[in-house]
Amino acid sequence: MKLNGTVLNTAENNLLVYEEEGNEHFLTGIETPLRDDAFELSDEEKITAITHHFRAIMETLGLDLRDDSLKGTPHRVAKMYVQEVFSGLNPANKPKIALFENKYRYREMLVEKDITLHSFCEHHFVPIIGKAHVAYKSNGNVIGLSKINRVVQYFAKRPQVQERLTIQIAEELKRVLQTEDVAVIIDARHMCVSIRGIEDTNSSTVTGSYHGAFLDESVRKEFLHHISH
């Protein structure tokens, strides 16, 4: 392959293809892409391996890891990746959610809005920061309000594409609540847009997933009214 008249070797060609695919920002599937052996290593083993590799990255950048401020960074980053920002990759961390009978017979829309959302772009591994808005109509059962937040956080704590994240949250709530009447909207800023590339600090991305009753225009408009006020 040639680029501006220069012949690229196989490695350079593959790197260019990966970069172009990342910039296209396409969705490969609803499930987060994981290898079959994703959980063969323990968390401690993963932290050890990531510490080694991140130290190599820092050294390649020319940083002096003998400095007191830097020498603990590889291990801190590794712990953050495994135990915090990417903890949603491990199904063992999936929130346990109990259903309760809707004794109040509340049949109207329940909306949980402005749920704080922190995730990471899977193309550049930089933050996605925003809000999630969730609504459902009970079919006879309800869940604790904080459990909605926990579902959002669980799926956000992994490398993500916002479209996939929106769908994953909606599908999990449908499964847990045993109803199709679920809606999810995410409004978020992507650091891969604001701190690199185009460096646009003002734009945000909005995605939605509507199901069941929320496919009706009047119900959807009611949901949008609630989250905008």
**Strand 159-160's sheet: what is its strand order?**
159-160, 109-121, 127-137, 182-190, 205-210
* Ordered alpha helix ranges (H), the chain: 10-24, 43-60, 73-79, 145-156, 162-177, 191-194, 217-228
Give the homologous superfamily in CATH for domain 39-85.
GTP cyclohydrolase I, N-terminal domain (1.10.286.10)
Q: Where are the domains of the chain?
A: 39-85, 100-228
Beta bridge pairs of residue 132: 115, 186
In whole angstroms, what is the distance from residue 210 CA to residue 1 CA?
Answer: 43
- DSSP labels, 100-153: EE-TT---SEEEEEEEEEEEEETTT--EEEEEEEEEEE-SSEE--HHHHHHHHH
Q: Mind listing the pLDDT tens digit of every residue in the chain (229 residues)?
A: 444 444 445 544 444 444 555 555 556 689 999 999 999 999 999 999 999 999 999 999 999 999 999 999 999 999 999 999 999 999 999 999 999 998 888 889 999 999 999 999 999 999 999 999 999 999 999 999 999 999 999 999 999 999 999 999 999 999 999 999 999 999 999 999 999 999 999 999 999 999 999 999 999 999 999 999 8
Supply the Cα-derived Rg of the chain in whole angstroms.
21
Between helices 162-177 and 145-156, what is the axis angle to 10°? 140
In whole angstroms, what is the distance from residue 199 CA to residue 196 CA?
Answer: 5
pLDDT value of position 29: 81
In whole angstroms, what is the distance from residue 83 CA to residue 226 CA?
Answer: 35
pLDDT value of position 24: 58
pLDDT value of position 21: 54
Task: Classify 164 as helix, strand or coil.
Answer: helix
List the catalytic residues.
121-124, 162, 190, 192
Class of domain 100-228: alpha beta
**Count of beta carbons in the 10 Å neighbourhood of residue 208:** 18
